[in-house]
Amino acid sequence: MSYVIPITAIQDTTKNDIELEPELSLFVKSSDWPEVIQNLFFSFLYSNVEHASKLNILFSNTDYLNQCVPLIAYSEIIESFIIIYSDKTQEPPEPGEPGSVLSYFRSYGYDENVLCSDCYGQLSCSSCSIEIHNGVPENSSPREEEYDMLDIDNERPGTPYSRLSCQTIVGKSPLILTIRKPNS
């Protein structure tokens, strides 16, 4: 399952329909998302019992992460949150490394308009770059070849958070991501 939540659809609300598990709150608060994005996400959760409950369950019992790992992304391009409840029992084989962030995005229906992949995961572009703002992928450090590619895009130069989504493998940790838009 996956969902797109445009930020324009999020009410700036103090309404608190549900309490968040401390693990979930801390994961968002300790992320490197800007505060304004964190607050928008909290506003969304506080007024959306369905997602808050799902995420509460996943964050409060790590056994569930063997089956489902949440990928929580903010896309600057479509100005929306994207939540993918990734099925870890059926890892998608491609594009890129099996079980990569990009492969999950494709298998849940997100195309080039959301996350580019100019070379189809062949490690010869940097169009699929993302920023990881909390959580640890299975391969927590980029290989040298990935590291080299992160610097080739002048419109979206790499940052300390940058990874190529086709090379970054989803492990057992939830991830908070940002899909940046090019500078120009």
Binding mask 18-37 for ligand FES (x = CB under 6 A): --------------------
Examine residue 162 and tell whether it contacts ligand FES (CB under 6 A).
Answer: no
Measured CA to CA, the distance from residue 155 to residue 95 in angstroms comes to: 23
Q: Which helix (H) or strand (E) holds 58?
A: helix 49-60
Could you tell me which of 177, 108, 107 has the C-alpha nearest to residue 137?
Answer: 177
Interface segment toward ligand FES; rule CB under 6 A; list 14-22, 24-32, 62-70, 124-132: 124-132
Answer for which of 164, 170, 176, 177 binds ligand FES (CB under 6 A) is 164
Task: Please state, in angstroms and rounded to a whole number, the distance separating the CA atoms of residues 124 and 3.
Answer: 30
* 8 A C-beta contact, residue 151 and residue 157: yes
Stretch of 15-23, 34-42, 56-64, 112-120 lying at the interface with ligand FES (CB under 6 A): 112-120
Site string for ligand FES, 2-21 (x = CB under 6 A): --------------------
Whether 146 and 102 have beta carbons less than 8 Å apart is answered as no
> Using the rule CB under 6 A, which residue among 20, 73, 166, 175 binds ligand FES?
166
128 belongs to the binding site for ligand FES (CB under 6 A) = yes
Shortest approach of ligand FES to residue 102 CB, angstroms? 6
Using Cβ positions, the residue closest to ligand FES within the complex turns out to be 166
Decide: 156 and 126 in contact? Cβ < 8 Å.
yes
**DSSP characters for 5-28?**
EEGGG-------SSPPPHHHHHHH
Q: Give the interface with ligand FES as residue ranges (CB under 6 A).
A: 96, 117-119, 121-125, 127-128, 149, 164, 166
